[in-house]
Structure 1
Amino acid sequence: MHRLALILLAVFLGAFLLSVSRLIVKEGLTLPDALKVVVCSYTRIIKGVLGGRLNIHSGLTTVQCMSDKL
């Protein structure tokens, strides 16, 4: 069980860092702005999943967070 939690944490952290680097490279955001957008996006996705909505589109969530945070 402990090993599974570490694997899931590593996958989540890897996806987080990949999202940040993608925003920096493709969108030209600075590191602080990219971190704000990714934290906002992941927070909305996690809240949606915990709220029972399983059809959340991560790209749309990122665009909404970019317009809200920047």
Structure 2
Amino acid sequence: MDATKLIELLGGTTKVAEICDVTPGAVSQWKTNGVPKPWVWFFESKYPDICRAAVVVPTSTPPPQPA
């Protein structure tokens, strides 16, 4: 899950801080360190559609062609 994308989809740093009753600084750190597991579980249960939208699906690259 892309923490930055999740935070933006939930309304931004300040809104997420209000939802979680933490400081905006704490939420900003999630963009670098990742969202703590208990908060991931909370968001997945309360906002499942947003969490699905925040998942980054890696694009597969085709195998290299022989020379």
Fold in common (TM above 0.5): no
Q: TM-score, normalised by structure 2?
A: 0.31
Higher relative contact order (CA 8 A, sep 6+): 2
Report the structure, 1 or 2, having the larger helix content.
1
For the pair shown, which has the larger CA radius of gyration, 1 or 2? 2
